[in-house]
């Protein structure tokens, strides 16, 4: 069977133990993905993450951050459609400056992930009572960002930069447009808790999606703030050597296997696997 309009075959559901309330998916999204259950934020606010990796765990091909997740997935349409779905259920999407530099013209909304389903994503946000677009959040210590990037200039999304005092001074010097909100209260290394507080004191954001990259994932995992990880495995092997470090989904922190996961669901499409995990750590942090 093919999902009309997108001409995508539905994800093949291999396992689904996810609990929570059924998300009121519009017909075409339901036909494509099957049911989606999410623990509704409420008192336990949610933070989820979404990555695509090669079989051998590589999420970015180049050390200089010039390759994005698109190259890793092979620009796989199911991966893009799922990215759009996760963006649709989120109030804020957080990325590190390296991810922005690798995609300077990107906006973090569902339509940019997979334009073919943009009306369905919009309808889903409407059904969930969410703002038209998620808040776009950029994390930078240095403030070394080009004020001409789309995310700072588009009328479509609101943008918040979470940075240090030095970073804020640098952004001002570079002429960051005044429409961009800036949180400049952080020390040199911003904790994930600080980032989340900066978001939630400015926006109603019960559901936050962290889209990486690997350096930003370090504090989020270290502080046990990611509830769930959606991980696409693309069917290639990228390898690494001294010239190309090729990170996995977290850089800058080690965990001695103390962060572990429960497999919630498995879907397949083409030769890609779409995994969903609940994350646990020995010292799970309090809800922010
Ligand atoms: N395959 C996937 O699913 C996927 C997902 C996301 C990203 N990526 C790829 O990953 C690559 C980028 O990796 P990356 O690790 O360099 O990117 P990143 O985590 O997006 O960005 C790193 C930068 O973000 C800022 N930052 C992150 N955490 C911070 C903290 N706690 N405090 C202050 N600043 C913080 C710093 O910016 P400043 O340098 O400005 O201080 C840091 O240099 C890109 O190629 C991107 O496309 C792949």
Rounded to a whole number, what is the distance in angstroms from the first to the last CA of the chain? Answer: 43
Per the domain annotation, does 85 fall within a domain?
yes
CA 63/CA 244 separation, integer angstroms: 6
Residue minimizing CA distance to atom 16 of ligand 1: 98
- The number of the ligand 1 atom at minimal distance from the alpha carbon of 217 is 19
pLDDT for 64-92, tens place per residue?
656 778 899 999 999 999 999 999 999 99
Mean pLDDT of 183-200: 91
The yes-or-no verdict on residue 287 having pLDDT over 50 is no
CA 153/CA 163 separation, integer angstroms: 18
| CB of 212 shorter than 6 A to ligand 1 | yes
Could you tell me the CATH number of the domain that includes residue 134?
Answer: 3.40.430.10
Residue 192 near residue 219, CB atoms below 8 Å: yes
The confidence band for 9, taking pLDDT boundaries of 50, 70 and 90, is: very high
- The number of the ligand 1 atom at minimal distance from the alpha carbon of 62 is 45
| CB of 186 shorter than 6 A to ligand 1 | no
Per the domain annotation, does 79 fall within a domain?
yes
The yes-or-no verdict on residue 173 having pLDDT over 70 is yes
Domains held by the chain: number: 1
Per the domain annotation, does 150 fall within a domain?
yes
CA 239/CA 271 separation, integer angstroms: 19
Report CA(175)–ligand 1 centroid distance (Å): 22
Tell me, what's the pLDDT at 63?
A: 63
Per the domain annotation, does 37 fall within a domain?
no
| CB of 144 shorter than 6 A to ligand 1 | yes
The confidence band for 146, taking pLDDT boundaries of 50, 70 and 90, is: very high
Residue of 141, 185, 210 best suited for mutating to test ligand 1, as the one with most atoms within 8 Å of CB: 141
Residue minimizing CA distance to atom 44 of ligand 1: 65
Per the domain annotation, does 210 fall within a domain?
yes
Report CA(271)–ligand 1 centroid distance (Å): 28
CA 99/CA 181 separation, integer angstroms: 19
Tell me, what's the pLDDT at 258?
A: 78
- The number of the ligand 1 atom at minimal distance from the alpha carbon of 51 is 3
- The number of the ligand 1 atom at minimal distance from the alpha carbon of 69 is 1
Residue minimizing CA distance to atom 28 of ligand 1: 216
Per the domain annotation, does 253 fall within a domain?
no
- pTM attached to this predicted model: 0.95
| CB of 142 shorter than 6 A to ligand 1 | yes
pLDDT for 28-39, tens place per residue?
999 999 999 998
| CB of 23 shorter than 6 A to ligand 1 | no
| CB of 259 shorter than 6 A to ligand 1 | no
Tell me, what's the pLDDT at 2?
A: 52
The yes-or-no verdict on residue 283 having pLDDT over 60 is no
Mean pLDDT of 250-256: 93
Instruction: HSE, CB side, 13 Å, CA atoms: give it for residue 175.
Output: 5
Q: Tell me the C-alpha to C-alpha distance, in Å, between residue 13 and each of 74, 80, 188, 277.
A: 21, 17, 44, 15
CA 210/CA 139 separation, integer angstroms: 11
Tell me, what's the pLDDT at 1?
A: 52
The yes-or-no verdict on residue 286 having pLDDT over 50 is no
Query: Which structure tokens are listed for 242?
Result: 């001294």
Per the domain annotation, does 265 fall within a domain?
yes
Report CA(23)–ligand 1 centroid distance (Å): 30
Residue minimizing CA distance to atom 13 of ligand 1: 213
Per the domain annotation, does 126 fall within a domain?
yes
Q: How many residues does the chain have?
A: 288
Report CA(212)–ligand 1 centroid distance (Å): 6
Domain span holding position 189: 45-243+260-280
């Amino acid at each position: 069977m093919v999902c009309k309009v997108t001409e995508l075959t539905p994800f093949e559901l291999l396992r689904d133990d996810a609990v929570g309330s059924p998300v009121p998916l519009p017909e075409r999204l339901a036909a494509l993905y099957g049911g989606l259950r999410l623990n509704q934020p409420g008192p336990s606010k949610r933070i989820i993450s979404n990555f695509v990796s090669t079989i051998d765990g590589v999420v970015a091909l180049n050390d200089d951050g010039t390759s994005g997740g698109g190259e890793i997935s092979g620009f796989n349409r199911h991966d893009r459609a799922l990215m759009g779905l996760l963006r649709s259920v989120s109030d804020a999407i957080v990325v590190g400056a390296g991810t922005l530099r690798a995609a300077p013209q990107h906006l973090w909304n569902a339509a940019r992930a997979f334009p073919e389903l943009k009306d369905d994503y919009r309808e889903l946000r409407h059904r969930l009572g969410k703002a038209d677009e998620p808040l776009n959040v950029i994390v930078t210590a240095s403030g070394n960002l080009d004020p001409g990037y789309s995310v700072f200039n588009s009328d479509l999304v609101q943008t918040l930069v979470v940075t240090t005092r030095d970073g804020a001074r640098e952004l001002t010097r570079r002429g960051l447009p005044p429409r961009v909100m800036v949180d400049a209260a952080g020390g040199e290394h911003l904790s994930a808790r600080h980032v989340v507080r900066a978001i939630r004191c400015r926006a109603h954001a019960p559901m936050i999606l962290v889209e990486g990259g690997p350096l930003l994932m370090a504090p989020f995992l270290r502080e046990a703030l990611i509830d769930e990880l959606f991980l696409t495995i693309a069917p290639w092997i990228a390898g690494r050597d001294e010239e190309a470090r090729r990170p996995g989904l977290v850089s800058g922190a080690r965990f001695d296997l103390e962060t572990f996961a429960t497999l919630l669901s498995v879907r397949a499409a083409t030769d890609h696997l779409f995994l969903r995990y609940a994350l646990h750590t020995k010292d799970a942090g309090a809800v922010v």
